[in-house]
Structure 1
Amino acid sequence: MPDEKRIGRVPGTQGYAEQAAELIPQYESIPFTAHHAAELHLLPTAPSRILDIGAGTGLDAAWFAAQGHTVLAVEPTAAFLAAAMRLHPSPLIEWLDDALPNLDAVMGLGQRFDVVMLSAVWMHLDEAERGIAMPRVASLLAPDGVMVLSLRHGPVPAGRRMFAVSGEETMALAGRHGLVTVLNTHTESLQPGNRAAGVTWTRLAFKHAG
């Protein structure tokens, strides 16, 4: 049974706990370098501090750790967090239960990060939540850091909470909080079922202006 208290606290996670057993192997099946091919050239090669918001099964966090980066992996869905810790143990990864839009636990750490990953999470926030989240995630980005964000477009899976969020809206919101767009590209889904259903992705990256 889903954790009703958790769903009430984090509306964007709706449907994921119930479908975790099916989704975990799907998420683990696509390599990081395929999923993030569009933004690979923007990621640091020297050891850096990574914030992975909505870390899911930990696949992205594990890739960063394997490159020698230290990672704060944030995931509010208990089933995913447990799977991530089991599948990808690493002394370079710190796991944290926290969620957008407020990220209270992350904000309380007082840290800034060279990379902030928002992979497949932004469209789970409604307009008001996006307005709360953007200045917070922008404040977590180090002066020379890069924020990577992806938006899903297409039919919403049953039981999920997603909103139609455009790249243009997201870039405008980021711009109001001191970020400039350094990547804006549109790709097909890598999951065969989603691709057949017409699911596409906008992949964006931002840096601090100036």
Structure 2
Amino acid sequence: MTPTFTDPAARRRWDVYFSEVDRLLARADADAAELRGDLEAHVVDSMAASSGVSESERLDAALSRLGRPIDYLRPLLADELIERGTLTYSPITIARGLSHAVMAGSRWAVIGFAFGLGYLLLAIFTAMALLKPLWGEHVGVFRYADGTISAGIVAQSDGARELLGFWSIPIALLLAAVLYVALTKGLRTIRRRH
């Protein structure tokens, strides 16, 4: 549906705009060709509705009304990536989807931020399991002389007694696995409801 432009500047503006659309749509599972066709038709119709100005000005006005591709495609990308990530349990895809959700500022922003914190906690458990053999005196569950307890990765463990020893590795890995499955299933359930 690409119009035939007589103004080379308008053609370049069209190409730049829709190359950004293509780049963003390449990240989603959505039918990119169909969505791009709908967007092109919308811009052409919007240009036809404007009269009495140059081709370049009509294109600029139509693209301004539509907005930046990232602004209206980011919620779509978030939804697609979260769906794909929760089905495949791919942490990278889920992280990308949540980042798009938070950046979009949509209804997913708060949900994305909350689940992002949950996945951060999961990363801490995993880091604890990996760091325990290397930095054992700072990783684990510690009881200090005054009776306070600290868990995780601590800067100071002087005078503290480590309560779990190397048992903290399988416990941290188990907590990470359970949290990952629970968060991913919860994210999938919330996505289906919305």
Comparing both structures, which one devotes a greater share of its residues to helix? Answer: 2
Larger Rg: 2
Q: Which has the higher strand share?
A: 1
Confirm or deny a common fold (TM above 0.5): no
TM-score of the two chains, using structure 1 as the length reference: 0.20
TM-score by length of 2: 0.21
